[in-house]
């Protein structure tokens, strides 16, 4: 390549990444006044298995990010197929999120854990952060994690959808080869 092209435009980049559907989570924490904070997050990624470390990429403008950095702990609430209204709710920073939705402090850490329309929860301690462009990558070691049997919520091409795979979290059935299209990624 003689001359490196300029980075692709915002629309093309968004269209490209939008064609890579992801699960949907709500990242929660507690602010310096002890109030719960949270935001919808699809940038969740597994980073390391041993130790168990995940990452989320949060906008530098995010109020949840500021609270999370100060508190040092955060939760990842995985949304279920019925959770698109929860995702929209936590994507609107003008709303007071925790007054209208059921939640409780997670045992041990006190991190806000959503009740209803979720399929799993992980409690994390921040191990590192890195500013990259207009986002901060937050790395967290997972202190506790549990996952139910619900159907995950997906997001892509600006639409929500229910995961079309085996219902009721039938992981054992998938491993036994009942669904020939399954595969496992190491991390």
Ligand X SMILES: Cc1cc2nc3c(=O)[nH]c(=O)nc-3n(C[C@H](O)[C@H](O)[C@H](O)COP(=O)(O)O)c2cc1C
Residues binding ligand X (CB under 6 A): 24, 39-43, 57-59, 62-64, 87, 90-93, 155
Long-range contacts of 168-177, Cβ-Cβ distance < 8 Å, separation of 24 or more: 169/119
Strand order in the sheet with 153-156: 22-23, 153-156, 159-162
Q: Which is nearer to ligand X, 21 or 170 (CB)?
A: 21
For ligand X, give the closer residue by CB, 98 or 110: 98
Nearer to ligand X, 93 or 182 (CB): 93
Helix (H) or strand (E) holding 14: helix 10-18
- Work out how close the CB of 98 gets to ligand X at its nearest, in angstroms, rounded to a whole number: 11
In whole angstroms, how close is the CB of 61 to ligand X at the nearest point? Answer: 6
Min dist CB 175 to ligand X, Å, is 29
Written as six digits, the tokens of 134 are 């207009």
Cis peptide before 51 (omega within 30 of 0): yes
Pick the closer one to ligand X by CB: 59 or 174: 59
Shortest Å, Cβ 156 to ligand X: 9
Between 37 and 113, name the residue whose CB sits nearer to ligand X. Answer: 37
Give Cα 111 to chain centroid, integer Å: 15
Rounded to whole angstroms, the Cα distance separating 128 from 136 reads 10
Distance CA 121, CA 146 (A): 6
Minimum distance between the CB of residue 26 and ligand X, rounded to whole angstroms? 8
């Amino acid at each position: 390549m003689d001359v490196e092209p300029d980075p692709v435009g915002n629309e093309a980049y968004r269209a490209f990444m939008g064609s890579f559907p992801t699960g949907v989570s709500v990242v929660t924490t507690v602010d310096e006044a002890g109030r719960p904070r949270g935001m919808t997050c699809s940038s969740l990624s597994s980073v390391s298995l041993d130790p168990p470390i995940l990452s989320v990429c949060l906008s530098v403008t995010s109020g949840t990010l500021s609270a999370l950095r100060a508190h040092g702990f955060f939760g990842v609430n995985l949304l279920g197929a019925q959770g698109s209204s929860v995702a929209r709710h936590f994507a609107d920073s003008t709303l007071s999120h925790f007054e209208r939705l059921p939640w409780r402090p997670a045992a041990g850490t006190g991190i806000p854990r959503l009740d209803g329309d979720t399929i799993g929860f992980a409690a994390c301690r921040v191990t590192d952060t890195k500013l990259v462009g207009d986002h901060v990558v937050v790395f967290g070691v997972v202190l506790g994690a549990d996952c139910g049997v619900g159907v995950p919520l997906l997001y892509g091409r600006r639409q929500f959808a229910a995961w079309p795979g085996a219902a009721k979290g039938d992981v054992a059935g998938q491993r036994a080869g009942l669904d020939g299209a399954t595969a496992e990624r190491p991390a």
